[in-house]
Amino acid sequence: MAINLNNLFNSISKNSKMGDFQDLEHVDGLSISSTSANLYSKQRDDLVLFYFRNGANHASVYTQSKLISENIKWNLKINKKKIKAILINTRNANAFTGKEGFKGLKVLADNLSEELTLKQKSEEEKPEKIDSNDILFACTGTIGEIFPTDKIKKCIPDLVKKIRYKQNKYIWMKAAMGILTTDLKPKLAMEECYIGNKRVKIYGIAKGSGMIFPNMATTLGFIFTDATISSTILKQLLKQNIQKTFNAISCDGDTSTNDMVSIFATGEISNSNLKSIKDKKLSEFNSSLFNVLLNLAKRVAADGEGASKFISIKVKNCKTEEDAKKICFSIANSPLVKTAIAGEDPNWGRIIMAIGKANVDLNPNKLAIKFGNITIIENGKLSYSYNEDEAATYMKDEKIDLLVNLNIGKKEFTSYTMDLTKKYIEINSDYRT
């Protein structure tokens, strides 16, 4: 994956469906490093390390798949409020690798903790001994292949040596690119806000392109803030905000074994003491965190494997939010809907089909459907104003908005997806080669 960073930063069209990239800068208490363990046949960074020299409070949400990767098993056993690092590898999911895959993580954790301890001793006035249980892992790639423990272990000294305490947009971009698999674009987002009178940062990166469907988080996402927030509150904030962001996207209806979204708070900004998620001083932070998560989630959907279009599906005026969600994902996961949009065909009959199979109570005589601002169905009938040619022209846009109105309640939900093209088949039929 040879991408010219200068070209990437200078080109708006590279990410036209989602707008220009945001320039992430420095977050106090966070250090970043990336390198290549030669996990791919072509030279590229495939290992990324986030290091918190003073530790970081943290929280994660994980896949609800019944077959989870070994790194998630490792993370679930870590019960420390603060951690020192998270190591991410691509190309290999370390899923369905059994005891050997888990042992591999222990080897890496022992080695990385030793190297970071030595770094502490050489650089810190009050060095700390870093334990293997101070480290989290994220893995992504092919399921069932032997975990490349030795390859990664050999790179750990170089990875630690390359740690940069000061970040700029290029370092962030290297990290964002280092966690990609079949993704075509790195995914970055940022917000700055206030907790009381203290200005804090919320920065994030994510990866995800295929095997994307919510049953927790749907992909890998890493959020960093310099705010002082306990792990307990971070967990509540993340769980609350994940529902309408990462849990609102679908690319192909498949849930990964490795899904995780994590947030880390370095505590370098001494904001007001926060005792509860209901603290009013958290309101702006909570809103900004939602914006970062939604930005990243949309970028994942827009970069779905083979995607040519980014699709928003809003279902409103339902009896329950769960009903709205069912219809959203019935549409988002329908191959017939997705291929029609790929072909720029305003085949609204496929939307009708997807609504009907969602098994939600509705009144057909109250149903309304729009493509963008174009009314298709109103009061359960084809609109007198509907113009097929106008709808066909709209379907040529890169961003497609679908609106379904049941008109029987007050609840709503919005999901995000992509179209289904021939390129998706090409990518996934040739995934391992």
Domain 310-429 has CATH 3.40.50.300: no
**236 within 8 A of 242, measured Cβ to Cβ:** no
Helix (H, G, I), strand (E, B) or coil at 225: strand
**pTM reported for the whole predicted model:** 0.89
Same fold yes or no, 21-302 and 310-429: no
Angle at 235 between CA 69 and CA 248, to 5 degrees: 70
Query: Which candidate in 63, 90, 218, 245 is catalytic?
Result: 218
Which residue, among 341, 343, 373, has the nearest Cα to 354 in the 3D structure?
Answer: 341
- CATH T-level assignment (fold) for domain 21-302: L-amino peptidase D-ALA esterase/amidase (3.60.70)
Tell me the domain boundaries of the chain.
21-302, 310-429
Which residues, in sequence order, are CB contacts of 393 under 8 Å at separation 6+? none
Reading the chain (433 residues) residue by residue, the pLDDT tens digits are 344 444 333 333 333 344 455 789 999 999 999 999 999 989 999 999 999 999 999 999 998 788 899 999 999 999 998 999 999 999 999 999 999 999 999 999 999 999 999 999 999 999 999 999 999 999 998 899 999 999 999 999 999 999 999 999 999 999 999 999 878 789 999 999 999 999 999 999 999 765 445 544 447 999 999 999 999 999 999 999 999 999 888 765 556 678 899 999 999 999 989 999 999 999 999 999 999 999 999 998 887 766 789 999 999 999 999 999 999 999 999 999 999 999 999 999 999 999 999 999 999 999 999 999 999 999 999 999 999 999 999 999 999 999 999 999 999 999 999 888 887 677 666 655 5
Catalytic, 218? Answer yes
Q: How far is C-alpha 128 from the chain's CA centre?
A: 32
From the DSSP assignment, how many helices (H) and strands (E) are in the chain? 12, 14
The per-residue b/e assignment along 160-185, b for 16 or more CB within 10 angstroms, e otherwise, is beebbeebeeebbbbbbbbbbbbbbb
> Which residues fall within 8 angstroms of residue 395, CB to CB, at 6 or more apart?
341, 344, 345, 346, 371
Residues 6+ apart with CB under 8 A from 291: 189, 191
